[in-house]
Amino acid sequence: MATKTTVKKATVKRTKFPSVAWFEAVADITRADVQYQKFGRLNAVVAFKSGNSIVQANFDVLNIHEIQKIDEDEMRDCDFIIELEPAQWKDMLKDIKKNGTASLDWTLNTLDLKYDEPIHRNDLEDGFKADLFFRYLPSLQIYFDNSSQIATGY
């Protein structure tokens, strides 16, 4: 009589996007990234908005800390906000996972130019702070490209 062997599939723990845990996991990878250390002179408090979820991160030169959920009113205290619809975030992150980095169609810069409204803004309409998005774009792209190293759930 043949014995049936049951093989268990390895379960991969997925970190849900958008969550504080997801942004912290990417921050841990990014702080150790040599490329980020080269370009990461980022000094801004940034809010990332997806649907009703808003996560704020303090990019303090090469450190990324104080990652927390915030509400709509607290976004005004951020240097700038990056906002995409949940489906757009998902498509961008899937592209990054597939390629290891964002393909040309899914970089933050391309997305900012692609839509009628930019994906970044400053709620106080402070043009200087809104322009920080462009100044720090290479570092922010490295940060998101590092998400290819974690299993993301939605």
Over the stretch 128-147, which tens digit does the pLDDT of each residue have?
Answer: 898 999 999 999 999 999 99
Residue 37 CA neighbour count, 13 Å, CB half: 6
Over the stretch 62-104, which tens digit does the pLDDT of each residue have?
Answer: 999 999 999 999 999 999 999 999 999 999 999 999 999 999 9
Amino acid 74: pLDDT: 97
Amino acid 82: pLDDT: 98
* pLDDT of 61 higher than 60: yes
Structural domains of the chain, with CATH: 15-153 (3.30.1050.10)
- Tokens, residue 52: 């009703």
Amino acid 93: pLDDT: 98
